[in-house]
Amino acid sequence: MKTWNVHCEGRFLGTVEENTEELASCAALSKFALTADAADAQDEQEQPVFGIAPDWAFSVTPA
């Protein structure tokens, strides 16, 4: 397994462990995805949204 870094909107979210980039993307969504309501709640509290909100681009890169 490889370690992959997960970034969204210019922010480092953490890492996932998978064999391929495609599987790492799936793992990233599983680990860091937010519902629209959760993202809105963080935004309304004037907190930076930490996670992958719906329709946000994200990337995984080898660590």
pLDDT in tens, the chain (63 residues): 999 999 999 999 999 999 999 999 999 999 999 999 998 898 888 878 889 999 899 999 999
* pTM of the full structure: 0.87
| Residue 60: exposure state from Cβ atoms within 10 A (0-12, 13-18, ≥19) | buried
In a 10 Å sphere around its CB, with 0-12 CB exposed, 13-18 middle and 19+ buried, how is residue 28 labelled? Answer: buried
Q: How many CA atoms lie within 13 A of 4 on its CB side?
A: 22
